[in-house]
Amino acid sequence: MSKKWRKRLVKFLIVDLSLIIILLGCGLIYQQVGASQDEKSFTPPGKLYEIHGNKMHLYTGGEGDVTVVLASGWGTANPYVDYYPLYEKLAPNAKFAVYDRFGYGYSDKTDKKRDVDTVADELHELLQVSGQKPPYVLVAHSLGSLETIRFAQKYPDLVKGIVMIDGGSPEYYENDLDNPADTIGGFGNQFRIKTGLFRLSMQSQQVVDASNANRNELKLVPADLKKADKTALLLNYGNSDTIDELREANANAKTVIANKKPLPFPLTILTADYFGKTEPDWVKTQAEFKSWSTQFKQVNVKDTDHYIHQYHPDIVADEILEVVKK
């Protein structure tokens, strides 16, 4: 290669590198400005309470002598929005309390490890500090099942019953090898978040609809809450708390199983049919949930995906209120 072409190649490389640096800088600024604007408009619908040195969000409503405590699944960026379809159905017959774990919704981030005992103790303190009186009917979606069962193990006198909304059994999570923590917390995905590429992709309605595909595209949620849900996702997706929660899933399941004994109150399992595409392991462990309670009931819900409450809130509310009234 001649000196002339070598010099041209060096110039091309310098120009390309300069363009990449400029684009990265623009992406970082775009992400930071967008996040700052989102934080200013992201107003909590409930109240914030200081728990273990950080602020935790709790939204409450309804009336009654029993409090329904709603735990979201992993990756549900805004639990308040997620459980919205249940509020009017529960309110006349029970109090309800939706909490955001640290790293979710309107709660702070924390530097405390997301082991199941810590999460259960944080919930216990939140309910006490906020004045939510027992007995509690604990409702959990997906991975929220682990902290719910652990809470019941540690504080059984406070619990009246449990309802799982397609919640995974401890045995399922103990043996689940398909953990996406390394992917979500990996360099590629974190680069995508920090440089604004994820934020940019979420400006496409097609991308937003795809992200909500297993939530019935939030068809039962009003437009302003859909916006709040998207904002929560932009602010919370891929943060260290949610990633650590995934990494701890197997260990948390083992902790729950190590303390296993049949719970002395009702345990209702609502199992989605995934529109006829359920996985055999999931079906098997859902049925085996019966070993966790002396009063077991399973309801197989048709024509639904993982977020059953976004497809059939009447069924979910009826099963919750059945436990409330026992």
**Percent of all residues in the chain with a pLDDT value above 70, rounded to a whole number:** 89
Evaluate if residue 11 carries a pLDDT over 60. Answer: no
CATH superfamily placement of domain 47-325: Alpha/Beta hydrolase fold, catalytic domain (3.40.50.1820)
Query: Do residues 272 and 305 make contact, with C-beta atoms less than 8 angstroms apart?
Result: yes
Length of the chain: 326
What residue ranges do the domains of the chain occupy?
1-41, 47-325
Average pLDDT over residues 184-206: 80
At 79, the amino acid letter reads P
Query: Do residues 60 and 132 make contact, with C-beta atoms less than 8 angstroms apart?
Result: yes
Average pLDDT over residues 281-305: 93
φ, ψ at 163 (rounded to 5°): -125, 125
pLDDT tens-digit readout, 115-166: 999 999 999 999 999 999 999 999 999 999 999 999 999 999 999 999 999 9
pLDDT tens-digit readout, 246-276: 999 999 999 999 999 999 999 999 999 999 9
